[in-house]
Structure 1
Amino acid sequence: MTRARPARMCKHLFVMALGGAEDLGLNTADPKTLVVDLNCAFASIEQQHEPALRSRPLAVAAYATGAATIVSASREARDLGIKTGMRVFEAMAIYPGIEVREPNPPRYRAVSDQLIEIMRRHSPDVLRMSIDEASMNLAGTPDLVRLGPEGVARAIKAGLRKEVGECITSSVGISTSIWMAKQASNLDKRDGLERIDHTNLVSVFARLRLTDLSGIAEASARRLLRAGIHTPLEFLHASVEQLRLAGMLAPVAEGWLRRLRGFEGGAFEGPARKSY
């Protein structure tokens, strides 16, 4: 006997079948915004600096003590289940031989500066979002025509490998806004290159959880759940009034509804803001 689909799933299938870009109010412009996120940044930089650490599980922790918090884990460590935010003693319980290094901020700032310099070869409009992440706008640049967004992304990746080192990889997202490009960069954290635009936004959102959205932490997701919003697709279809039930002020709600459609969300929320 065929089991009935949950009501939310039926709604999502209906939306995906009938909801075109115009119906949803999505931004249909050609993507010109890139976000570049260095993978496992601090750990990868340490592996580049110290060749003996390459291909080995490595954690960069606030201090070289068992109680210290891990601020970056190498790909090899992550593959073992060791994550940022763990304590060193927890990582050692998973893999006793893990290498631990204390942070070297000047070294990381130098690589961050190199990333910005490489990106500025393609556009003057570059924003440093954090020490390991930056965005750029290609609108009006010769490289937008000559290379296209994907070509620029590949050139940045090649520049990082050649000028910073083979251990330094990045995930690049392409879209019509900084926030949506960041979502695209999060889709593949292993040297990825992903694009979100009006042709695939709904299908991308359909496979994400609320907490996969940048700016939606667990507490924010719980407030959205209380307002009847369980998924990114339901978030996309919510009204300002429904988002007010989740505790958002009207300008914040309006900003989110723009952001979810591929438009810049407004000045009230900068790149560093983690939650509403």
Structure 2
Amino acid sequence: MVFKPDENNGIKKKYPSFLDWRQKGCVTPIKDQGNCGSCWAFAAAGAIESALCIQQQKQQQQQQQQQHQQQQQQQEEEGWQQQQQLTFQQSPFPPPPQQQQDYPHHHHHQQQQQQQQQHNQQQHNQQQHNQQQQQQQEEEGTFLHRLSEQMLVDCSTSFGNNGCNGGLLEAAFNFVAANGLCFEENYKYRAKEGPCLSGTARCRHRPLKEMLQQQQQQQQRQRKQQQQRKQQQATAAGETAAAAAAAAAAAAEFSVAAPMAVLLCLFSLLPTGGGQQSEQQQQQQQQQQQQQ
């Protein structure tokens, strides 16, 4: 399958004159099922090859993004350090007296060192970029693994399939979920039924089963993280509720204590009994003086 772009489509961007999709990991070579009713096995294996390819490409993209972020962070840190050194060297304060004679030469030498460091860093980054491109080109075409249809024909009868006499996709997927699927190079297609060889040494590596195990482990980690977050939220909510209860209790105490304090204050302003007796004595003295 070859892709040839139309010359009259008005697209200005340059594209290659042809593109072999097999080298890009999009299709496998042509397969022939022969005189065997195993179309269900080819359909199931093709769907699984596609799912496995997509999963591996996602993993590679995530790894590339992480590497790119780490490189950016490292470059930012190195740039910050160089800027700090340059700021220190361009300080308006004069150098100590013992360094004043050699200071211009020293400053020029420092600038040359910085330029050389920047040049070396650029070369290093370019080399890393070239290596990544080369590695990506080498990995293209290896994502789409060729899986064994013959293993489905020979080994999935206990799941409801009938080998060359037909089968169901659902039964094939159930078999693969339980047992995985070998590479075609280790379990080649023969266009006829035969004994199941999935237990042999050449069929130990089963990428789909490993991928399913990784997904299950990832799901378990995600569930564990969710449980931890819920526990943390519950703990924080409990602490908030306890603080609210303490605040309510303090407010209740204040609502009782405040009126009592006001009453005590008012009582303190009232005249005492001794004061009333002194007023009566004064009135009696005034009456006696008037009688006299």
Which structure's residues are more often strand, by fraction? 1
Q: For the superposition of Structure 1 and Structure 2, which TM-score range results when normalised by the shorter chain?
A: under 0.3
Which structure's residues are more often helix, by fraction? 2
- Give me the TM-score of the superposition, normalised by structure 2: 0.20
Bigger Rg over Cα: 2
